[in-house]
Amino acid sequence: MLFLLRVVLVVGVLSYLALVRNGSDPGAEAQRLARAVPAAAPAALAAVPPDTRERLVKDVLARGLMAELSRRAAEPEPPPPSGDTLMDTDRDPAWRGIERR
């Protein structure tokens, strides 16, 4: 596993250095590639067999649903509305004992 991580790291560094050596901006290159991905997505989706595509869509929807349900389950429920109709002045006692003279 460590070997694979090293290979990925070396390939990534060499790709970055190749972009820098050619004088192109790596950030701009990444943005250009990111814009090209949505354009290629329909062609890639059409290449997937229909039964596999249906299974993948179901899996993605199930994961999304499970993520939403677990997020909602983690949120605390709001407290129920209070049935208390007393105001703060109602809570003060009307008489506190003998007044001092």
In terms of residue numbers, what domain contains 69? Answer: 22-73
76 secondary structure, DSSP code:
P
| Tens-place pLDDT, residues 14-72 | 888 877 777 767 677 777 777 777 777 777 778 888 888 888 888 988 988 888 888 88
CA distance 41 to 39: 6
Residue 97 lies in a domain: no
Tokens of 93: 């006692």
Q: How many domains does the chain have?
A: 1
Residue 27 lies in a domain: yes
- Please give the pLDDT value at position 70: 86
Q: What would the mean pLDDT of 86-95 be, rounded to a whole number?
A: 76
Residue 12 lies in a domain: no
Residue 4 lies in a domain: no
Residue 50 lies in a domain: yes
Band the pLDDT of 101: cuts 50, 70, 90: low
